Structure 1
Amino acid sequence: MPDRLPTGTPHARTGGLPDREQLRTFIENATGCIGKREISREFGLGPEHRQALRQMLREMALDGTLAPAGARRFRVSDRLPESMVVQVTGTDADGDPIARPVQWDGEGAPPIVFMHPELRGRTALAPGERVVARLRRTGPGRYEGRTLRRLTDAPAQVVGLFRALAADDPAASAPARFRPAGRLTPADRRAKAQWIIPHGEDGGAPDNEIVIATPLPQSGPGLHPARIIERLGPQGDARTISMVAVAMLGIPHVFPAEALAQAKAARAVAPAGRTDLRDMPLVTIDGADARDFDDAIHAEPDGTGFRITVAIADVAWYVRPGSALDNEARLRGNSVYFPDRVIPMLPEDLSNGWCSLRPDEDRGCLFVTMDVAADGSVAHARFGRGIMRSAARLTYEQVQAARDGTPDPGIQSLPAGLLDSLFGAWRCLTHARARRGTLDLELPERLVRLDDHGRITAIAPRIRLDSHRVVEEFMIAANVAAARCLEGRHLPCLYRIHAPPTPERLESLRRTLDTLGLKLPPVGSLRASDLDHVLQQVRGTDQAALVNELILRAQNQAEYSPDPVGHFGLSLPAYSHFTSPIRRYADLLTHRALLVAIGLEPGPGPTHEQLEETGEAITRTERRAAQAERETLERYAATWLQARVGTVMEAHISSLSRFGIFTVLDATGTSALLPMSALPQDQWHHDEKTQTLLSRDKTMAFRPGQALRVRIEEACAIRGTVLLALPDTPRLQGRRA
């Protein structure tokens, strides 16, 4: 990163993220109120700095350095904000807690007095505790605080595993009135301590039940007490596992009555005013377990190329801006998918009903027709609002089997040549992808299979077929066409953006790849194709999984923004999401913008500032969903491995640290830790430069990508953690989770 300007010097374009004082000085000296656009222009910031700048502005607004001044604009504050993070420093003469801002740039921070007691069931604020507080100015330099959220004390709720008091528990010998009902192990792996469930506060939960508890006041030392307020289900039932993530991350899963009523009142669309596509044999291709079908495709030869049509469920017809359905869809942001259930963005009357492109049923759609040349270039993209009738609901496996020469009756009933046209158009589109030079990561996905009783029957790799790639390329082409249409008409919309990796991440990646004998071009000239070239070099080797993971970690996360900064991974200057409005709110907004663009809905649509706010909100919900899905898969895998403690399995090393070796189990794709204490008795040295763990005499070494045989030593289902040992080391005594 370039050297920062000294405090107090005039501003200049630095090409690097400013520090807090530089940013405060710039905003203070600027004329009018300042937003991210002006800051980026002043300091020469690129797309890779967006996330860090947004976080810095949030922190400075939270600690009172900056004050909001309209939509996403700021000024230097002359008073504390309405809410901020504060730390309790003591009590006043009346015993009320006194706090001060956690971050304060000057001297003489104004005192904040908490004059009202905490909510019932919460312990009192103690010195050193940090809280998010709502502030009310009571006079010059004086504020009153009320707690909004505690950061260092008990959480508002605890999700975990309840274990009834065992006979050998030390607490079992306590007098009856002091004897607890049991203990609670938090599902959050960052939580170090257990909780105690007092007698009469277990909510009728039996042993080994996953529950939600709320903290109780604590009168003395020892474990924190809590009251069970909701039972999620027995730990042994795999169908309970997904609800742990839902509860921990606060994912909305109950629809408001008004939204349900609006979905219930939905009816079929009328053909009037729509392009009739019912004679076109559009087909949906999805996973075998899919229930909401929001995209259908068709292709036919056109000269040396193909004319392709992508039809998408007309969700915008049913979900109107500002309605209860719209408000709930924006709040959820996206559907969340678990092995046993889906938490949908829209009620089932829409997601699995009127908005689902079910076969042989009339459905409203938005469609785009594109002419694809033999070299993959796309021309004459035309959008419209139509009515369609899906000719078949196909699965990826079904389409692939037909392509490989074993069609089933469902495929044989389709018009002759339809599959050939779909695959032919796909091959054309891949030529354009190859010219652009995209980043094609091969990341293993795992599929959890459950029986009718919620028991895990298998955790198997999800095979990526050519039929998956056909649908993927059709969707990318439609998304690009949507972005170009809106950009060409200068209409604000939400783009799907993926900023290039930061120079710091690329340099770290370069050093690691050097240890594997792989080279990258200089940072300034690096493109997605350069990273993909590295992937091609290791494809099919033992290093492939590691290198794919390393390159993934170097990437910035994709997000939604009204600024078309491009998509690095796909090597596209402008890209939007258009093809999944049943499960993504961003796609619904793209549909609304397209309807304005083609004159079927009145404008104007949302402003740039409104889209920016929505983009940030649904980016957060998307990352929340990804976290929920990832953590749930880890808990499923740990549940499956609990019955296999002591089993020896194959694994490979993903990374090394001073306290252990992180591995991935080949059978399940599960991350697991081989702690340093499980290694042979020796002194080990972690060489960060070569990414190697060496024994004292240098006769043994562990490196990323290295294959290992490991023994499952412990698996904690509620936390999704797995500990390993080497096969020839002594077994540890079993522990009660």
Structure 2
Amino acid sequence: MPQRPPRTPRRGGPGDATDARGTAKRTDQPPRERAAGLRRRPAAGAEPNPLPSREELRTFLRAATGRVGKTEISRHFGLSTEQRPALRALIASMKEEGSAAPVGRRTLRASENLPDMAALEVFGTDPDGEPLARPITLDGPGKPLVLMRPERAGQPALAPGDRVLARITRIGPDRYEGRTFKRIGSGAASRILGIYENGFVQPVDRRARADWLIPEEERNGAQDGELVQAEPLRGGADRPYGPKRARIVERLGSMDEPRSVSRLCIAAHGIPEEFSPESIRDAERARGVGPEGRDDLRAIPLVTIDGEDARDFDDAVHAEPDGEGHRVLVAIADVAHYVRPNAPLDRDARARGNSVYFPDRVVPMLPEALSNGWCSLKPDEDRGCLYVEMRFDARGTKTGHRFGRGLMRSAARLTYERVQAARDAGEDAGLAPGHIARLYDAFHALLDARERRGTLDLDLPERRVILDDAGKVLSVAPRARLDSHRLIEEFMVAANVCAAEELERLHQPCMYRVHDRPSDEKLETLRAFLGGFGFNLPASNLVRPRDFAGILERTKDLPESRLISETILRGQSQAQYAPDNIGHFGLALPRYAHFTSPIRRYADLLVHRALIRGLKLGDDGLTDAEAAAMPDTGESITRTERRAALAERDAVDRYLAAFMAHRVGVTFQARVSGVTRFGLFVTVEESGASGIVPMSALPDDQWFHEDAAMRLIGRRTGLTFTLGQEVEVRLAEATPRTGSLTFQLLQGDPRATGTGRPPRGRQRLAGKPAVKGRDRTGRDAHRAEEATGTPGSHRTPRR
């Protein structure tokens, strides 16, 4: 049935309606039909209502949320029984011309509306982490969106590239809800990425359940231990008995070679690695810029501050006193000068969306001749830049800003560690006296403003993988976060806010970085979780970042602080790019745009072009075609950002699995990081490695899964396992090929052994109650990680 619009208030008595000015006017149309927007039914003996035009009928079909038939159409347009033959003829002609589509024998829909059952391909996730899909059979950027509902219990979550046959329900204009009816493969030509071994390809996807047989004539010269791409043989994927068969179509190198893990992740996630010959040519032809038409900043001692292993330096900073406040200058590499709209370099950069960082390599957004060359702010070399000069009062409140296009010369290439050491020792890292102190004075003022604003600052440690020259893992440790990191972050956030404000002032299109508040469902789950610790959240429409920040501050010294931080993080929406501004919830900012990293993020390049256009700083600004395409571009670069995040995390997981492989049989202290009906997920304290404890590895018992409380309870032993609980586990299996770790839980196991060494027979009492823990949100550890969206350091693409 078509969805009726809501009843509107009326003036006057029964049988009255109002005109546009609110004056009551008389009508004989019954109130129910008038409120529903139906045509007035003709009185007895009066002329019948005319048939709807094709456009009127198409408009009605587009607005209908489901299939409709002649009865619904007749009722809506107030047609008589005698008009049914004419209506049938009209419907038949519209079906023939394709403007209406039949659904079954007696109903139809608008041709542009999706049918009740459709083949879809998953391309990304929405801000709440739920899969988004589009129809496979439609072309063009205007494909309607389908929000996929969670999979049935026991089924793996949908991932980008997965294809399904789904039942469709329309929930709004060009928006639908889908439920998986049947999985129909992968969008990447159903290719299998795996390792060839003894005539079989072992898939690297941990969701794959079986190996693929490679007939001898289809091996393409592959050697044991090689990473390969394979395609199912025609008829081989559907054989009822025996292994499925495939042919090898591409050999990607030996898995024993250095950098093989990152090569695997690049192939698995479809990350573009090769630049077009035209892009390489244009990058190699690039040259430096002169001072003409630019502000000369070369006398200002701007410095870059980056990690020790950084090779591209796209931002430089300077600070000095300004009365009782501070003047901060942030200069950013002028990538727009070299990467012109719709040129080969631009097309390649847009397809990548961002650079991707692995422990052993970077897949850059721009060719090396630019990313490490003319667009890198190297010390003592002239470089073009876009800059923003910002002024703050003593409390860190911005009092003004100014953008320009300049020529700069970096005074020094500094590292976070060197700057922090100089600050701690009261030195100046080789710069003029007071230089470092002035940077920190401005930073502390901005930090005060941030704390007053009440931002959500989740300081969760990142894992740093250290490799030797052969690509072997030497160590895995949390990455330190120093005040020098936070200094650069505060300067960059301030510059990004200024960029968004300036584009609004200039009435220019802006690619905002938006971050919505948590969904009502996630807030309710967080409310229940935090209630267990005695904390209350305001109503959903009143919750603010400072509410979470206050909880984090009050729990920072508790043993459960890491669990609480991770739970709050995973309860947030995901940040994304969009030309329509909804603000940035995590940063508590009404407007925010990425401006500071155009070497490695395409969104920043668009913001630079918009500033150049609005401030009339050159002929290489944003084009009308780019402005019109911003909604689609925002979706695209959001997808590439999430693709990069998944690839980077997969690489770390595989390196961790390789690092742990020689420690099979060793016991570790861990925490429960996920509770499901098929087992537990645990995270090892010393390295951050995560893995599964399947039901078969739990003590022998009848286990009950309490979904709401997120815990497992043993009926006979009384053992209870909840989220955040400290446990002792033994590593049972490590599979670097998939990045999977499998553990055995030792609570309640008489074979339990000491921590950190192979089993030696030390026993503990079976049935000893587990330590009481707390619960948190999420279906399992991996699903929860995919749903995060709180900003991190500006050095990563997820801010």
Q: Does 1:198 align with 2:215?
A: yes
- Say yes or no: does 1:159 pair with 2:159: no
Q: Against the structure 1 CA distance between its residues 236 and 518, is the aligned structure 2 distance closer, same or farther, given a 3 Å change threshold? A: farther
Q: What is the count of residue pairs matched by the alignment? A: 616
* 3-state DSSP of counterpart to 1:631: helix
Match of 2:465 among 441, 448, 458: 448
CA distance in 1, matches of 2:209, 2:165: 27
Tell me the amino acid that sits aligned with residue 469 of structure 1: R
8 Å contact from structure 1 (residues 449, 458) kept in 2: yes
Contact map agreement 1:678 1:729 (CA 8 A) in 2: no
Q: Per-residue deviation at 1:437?
A: 0.7
Q: Distance in 1 between matches of 2:247 and 2:629?
A: 41
Pairing partner for 1:665 from 684, 689, 693:
684
Matched, 1:509 2:526: yes
CA contact (8 A) 1:309 1:368 kept: yes
Give the letter for the 2:382 counterpart. D
Q: Which residue of 1 aligns with 2:720?
A: 701
Are the aligned partners of 1:497 and 1:565 in contact in 2 as well (CA < 8 Å)?
yes
Q: Which residue number in structure 1 is paired with residue 597 of structure 2? A: 580
2:28 aligns with none
> Which residue does the alignment assign to 1:85?
none
Gap change, CA 1:202 and 1:541, over 3 Å in 2: farther
Distance 1:721 1:58, change over 3 A: closer
Q: For residue 251 of structure 2, what is the aligned residue in structure 1?
A: 231
Compare CA radii of gyration and give the structure with the larger one: 2
The one-letter code matched in structure 1 to 2:727 is L
Kindly provide the amino acid, as one letter, of the partner of residue 669 in structure 1: G
Partner of 2:365: 345
State the shift of 1:606 in Å: 3.7
Q: How big is the shift at 1:335?
A: 0.4
- TM-score computed with the length of structure 2 as normaliser: 0.72
- Can you list the C-alpha shifts for 1:39-71, whole angstroms capped at 9, x where unaligned? xxxxxxxxxxx9489999965x6688xx98xx7
Aligned partners of 1:528, 1:105: CA distance in 2, in Å?
34
Partner Cα separation in structure 2 for residue 284 and residue 541 of structure 1: 37
Secondary structure of 1:431's counterpart equals helix
Contact 2:515 2:585 in 1 (8 A): yes
AA aligned opposite 2:250: E
Which stretch shows the higher mean deviation, 481-490 or 695-704?
Answer: 695-704
Contact 2:705 2:713 in 1 (8 A): yes
| Structure 1 alignment gaps of length 5 or more | 1-5, 14-20, 33-49, 76-99, 107-127, 132-149, 165-181, 732-737
Aligned counterparts of 2:186 and 2:377: Cα–Cα separation in 1:
49
Contact 1:214–1:229 (Cα < 8 Å) also in 2: yes
Q: Given the alignment of the two structures, is residue 293 of structure 1 paired with residue 316 of structure 2, yes or no?
A: no
The answer to whether residue 707 in structure 2 is matched with residue 688 in structure 1 is yes
* Structure 1 contact 63–102 (Cα < 8 Å) conserved: no
Match of 2:670 in 1: 651
Secondary structure, in 3 states, of the residue corresponding to 2:218? coil
* Alpha-carbon contact 2:128-2:574 (below 8 Å) kept: no
C-alpha change, 1:604 and 1:722, in structure 2 (3 Å) is closer
Select which of 369, 376, 380 maps to 1:360. Answer: 380
Q: Which digits, 9 at most, give the CA deviation of each residue in 1:308-348, with x for residues without a partner?
A: 00000000000011110011111111000000110100000
Q: Distance in 2 between matches of 1:193 and 1:651?
A: 30
| Pairing of 1:111-122 with structure 2 (within 5 A) | none
CA deviation digits over 1:635-676, x for unaligned, max 9? 111111111111111211112112111111112212211112
What is the distance in 1 between the residues matched to 2:691 and 2:165?
40
The superposition leaves residues 272-324 of structure 1 with CA deviations (integer Å, 9 ceiling, x where unpaired) of 11111111111111111110000000001111111000000000000011110
- Identity score, percent: 48
Give the Å deviation of 1:130: 7.5
Among 9, 18, 32, which residue is 2:4 paired with? 9
In structure 1, which of residues 600, 605, 608 is the aligned counterpart of residue 623 of structure 2? 605
The code of the aligned residue for 1:425 comes to A
The secondary structure found in structure 1 opposite 2:448 is helix
- Counterpart position of 1:222: 242
Offset from partner CA, 1:603-648 (integer Å, 9 cap, x none)? 6634654111111111111111111111111111111111111111
Query: Contact 2:341/2:623 (CA < 8 Å) preserved in 1?
Result: no
Residue 621 (structure 1) aligned with residue 640 (structure 2): yes
Provide the rounded CA distance (Å) in 2 between the counterparts of 1:458 and 1:218.
Answer: 46
Query: Which of 567, 571, 580 is 1:563 aligned to?
Result: 580
| Aligned: 1:261 with 2:275 | no
Q: State the alpha-carbon separation in 2 of the partners of residues 516 and 611 from structure 1.
A: 44
Structure 2 match to 1:25: 64
| Preserved contact between residue 314 and residue 365 of structure 1 (Cα < 8 Å) | yes
The answer on 1:415 being equivalent to 2:432 is yes
Against the structure 1 CA distance between its residues 129 and 344, is the aligned structure 2 distance closer, same or farther, given a 3 Å change threshold? same
Q: Does the aligned pair in 2 maintain the 1:11–1:26 contact within 8 Å?
A: no
Task: Give the Cα–Cα distance (whole angstroms) in 1 for the partners of residues 501 and 616 of structure 2.
Answer: 16
Which of 646, 652, 673 aligns to 1:633? It is: 652
Matches of 1:372 and 1:225 in 2, distance apart? Answer: 66
Residues 102 and 710 of structure 1, relative CA distance in 2, 3 Å threshold = closer
Deviation at 1:22, TM superposition (A): 11
- Residue 309 of structure 1, aligned match among 329, 351, 365: 329
Q: How does 1:344-493 map to 2 (within 5 A)?
A: 344-405=364-425, 411-493=428-510
Q: Cα offset for 1:207?
A: 2.6
With over 3 angstroms needed to count, the CA separation of the structure-2 counterparts of 1:435 and 1:606, relative to structure 1, is farther
Secondary structure of the residue aligned to 2:658 is helix
**Given the alignment of the two structures, is residue 718 of structure 1 paired with residue 749 of structure 2, yes or no?**
no
Q: Distance in 1 between matches of 2:464 and 2:352?
A: 24
Instruction: Please say which of residues 612-621 and 233-242 is displaced more in the overlay.
Output: 233-242
Q: Quote the residue 1:529 is aligned against.
A: 546
Aligned residues of 1:237 and 1:455 also touching (Cα < 8 A): no
Secondary structure, in 3 states, of the residue corresponding to 1:615?
helix
In structure 2, the CA distance between the partners of 1:160 and 1:62, relative to structure 1 (3 Å rule), is closer
- Do 1:512 and 1:691's aligned partners in 2 also have CA atoms closer than 8 Å? no
Deviation at 1:10, TM superposition (A): 1.7
Name 1:138's counterpart in structure 2: none
Q: C-alpha displacement at 1:224, in angstroms?
A: 1.7
The DSSP-based 3-state class of the residue aligned with 1:434 is: helix
TM-score by length of 1: 0.78
User: Distance in 1 between the 2:722 and 2:654 partners?
Assistant: 27
Q: How big is each residue's C-alpha offset from its partner over 1:579-615, in whole Å with a ceiling of 9 and x where there is no partner? A: 0000000000000111112211356634654111111
How many Å separate the matches in 2 of 1:210 and 1:443?
34
